[in-house]
């Protein structure tokens, strides 16, 4: 998936980018408002991404890390347009987690709900609703937690 971004600021540790709103992914015919990217990167509502330049310790305050030293090897100034490429397998991994975990939680809580809630006289479908809500919450917590959120490897290009 390829997106375009404008460089807002460059300092010694962090490059601040703004995703272009109207730019579509390379293979996409429709704009999707970057809903998946905002969920994944926990970016601001304005589409701001922070890229750590030199040390992996800077990923604590940034969304991405410049593994290939793209910003160190090239000279950029504010308002330059660059491309960001997220590899397909990473997108697939996060999509499976984003959609798969709530579905697995629904199935698990439906099955357990029919046994537990039938004993207490409640409807077993409540377990499915609880599983869906807990699955969405758990997915969001896992994706955005500092330990799990292995910063996706992206390629930057001019």
Q: What is the pLDDT of residue 80?
A: 86
Whether this model's pTM surpasses 0.75: no
Same domain, 80 and 11: yes
Q: What is the pLDDT of residue 19?
A: 79
Same domain, 135 and 69: no
Q: What is the pLDDT of residue 29?
A: 52
Query: pLDDT 10s digit of each residue in the chain, 158 long?
Result: 777 888 888 887 888 888 777 655 555 555 555 554 554 555 455 677 788 776 555 555 666 777 777 777 777 888 888 887 777 777 787 778 778 888 888 888 888 878 887 777 777 778 788 888 888 888 778 777 655 555 566 667 66
Range of the domain at 134: 95-143
Same domain, 71 and 49: yes
Same domain, 45 and 13: yes
DSSP the chain: -EEEEEEEEE-SSEEEEEE-SSPPPTT-SS--TTHHHHHHHT--TT-EEEEE-S-GGGGGT-SEE-TT-HHHHS---TT-EEEEEE-HHHHHHHHHHHHHHHHHHHHHHHHHHHHHHHHHT--THHHHHHHHHHHHHHHHHHHHSTTT-PPPPEEEE-
């Amino acid at each position: 998936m390829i997106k375009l971004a404008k460089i807002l600021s460059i300092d010694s540790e962090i490059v601040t980018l703004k995703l272009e709103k109207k730019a579509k992914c390379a293979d996409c015919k429709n704009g999707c408002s970057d809903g998946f990217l905002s969920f994944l990167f926990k970016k601001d509502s304005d589409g701001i991404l922070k890229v750590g330049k030199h040390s992996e310790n800077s990923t604590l305050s940034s969304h991405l890390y410049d593994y290939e030293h793209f910003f160190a090897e090239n000279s950029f100034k504010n308002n330059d347009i660059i491309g960001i490429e997220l590899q397909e397998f990473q997108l697939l991994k996060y999509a499976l987690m984003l959609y798969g975990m709530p579905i697995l939680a629904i199935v698990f809580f439906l099955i357990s709900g029919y046994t537990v809630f039938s004993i207490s006289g409640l409807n077993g479908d409540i377990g499915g609703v609880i599983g869906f809500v807990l699955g969405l919450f758990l997915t969001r917590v896992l994706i955005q937690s500092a330990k799990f959120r292995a910063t996706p490897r992206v390629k930057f290009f001019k």
